[in-house]
Amino acid sequence: MNEQEQMESFYEIFDPSLPRLGPGDAGSTRRALRAALGGPTDDLTVASAGLRIIDLGCGNGAQTLVLAVETGLEIEALDNHKPFLQELDRRARAAGLAGKIHTREGDLLALDCEDASFDMVWCEGAIFIMGFRKGLARIRDLLAPGGSLALSELCWLKDDVPEECRSFFESQYPQMSDVSANLDTARACGYEVLDWFAQPESAWWEPYYTPLGEQVALLREGYAEDIDRSAMLDMVELEIEIYRKYHDCYGNVFFVLKR
């Protein structure tokens, strides 16, 4: 399989119609939003009035829709895969939020936003694309002073991780760090930490791994003769199985930071 075919196969698995493209749920997005807005507040629309918000690596926009509903604001949503943005546009129209969400095709590795042009940057499951430290530093430039950054990132949750799990991530995401190292990095990059929390296990299953597993099963029927594509499906299934076995060892952690 050449690179082009690999990408096609990847996007066949990660189809825009999936509920979302990484672990997460509306409750976690709301909790992080509340923290980013400064803590307990009854009316998030009042607390967020006038803020300029961008959602980086928005995908098909599960969290963008939550942000738009909760804040009542217009939100910019950036991703480099057009079919995800088209799906987000469709979902926004269906939810009566068409004028609220402005999708933009763009590259996280070459962001062309002006410095200090946002009061809040959202980035669920996509900071790893820039690298944790580099991403924090780049996003800090985009934030106006006092602005906030909410992101989710895979983190180790304990030290004594069984070999099978450790070696899976050594091959798939060797940069994965633990919470306290990431908090140190955030502070070193000039942020105050407002909150952090590991998303619940349910945020991995209902919205993400369960439908992804169904998608894999569906594709497998047509891939029986295709060794390369079958191997990609095997990898997704292995990732799901690793989480099923070792979900106490790592998690998707929300960090809510203030510039």
Ligand X SMILES: C[S@@+](CC[C@H](N)C(=O)[O-])C[C@H]1O[C@@H](n2cnc3c(N)ncnc32)[C@H](O)[C@@H]1O
C-beta of 30 vs 226, nearer to ligand X = 30
Q: To the nearest whole angstrom, how small is the minimum distance from the Cβ of residue 243 to ligand X? A: 14
Tell me the residue nearest to ligand X as measured from the CB: 59
Structure tokens that stand for 122 in this block: 């959202």
How many whole angstroms separate alpha carbon 132 and alpha carbon 137?
9
Q: To the nearest whole angstrom, how small is the minimum distance from the Cβ of residue 47 to ligand X? A: 23
C-beta of 41 vs 210, nearer to ligand X = 210
Q: What is the binding site for ligand X (CB under 6 A)? A: 20-22, 24, 57-59, 62-63, 79-81, 84, 107-109, 124-126, 129
C-beta of 226 vs 239, nearer to ligand X = 239
How many whole angstroms separate alpha carbon 168 and alpha carbon 119?
37
Compute the half-sphere exposure of residue 166: CA atoms within 13 Å on the CB side of its CA.
6
Q: To the nearest whole angstrom, how small is the minimum distance from the Cβ of residue 11 to ligand X? A: 9
Q: Which helix (H) or strand (E) holds 240?
A: helix 227-246
How many whole angstroms separate alpha carbon 89 and alpha carbon 9?
23
C-beta of 102 vs 226, nearer to ligand X = 102
Q: To the nearest whole angstrom, how small is the minimum distance from the Cβ of residue 159 to ligand X? A: 26
End-to-end CA distance of the chain: 44
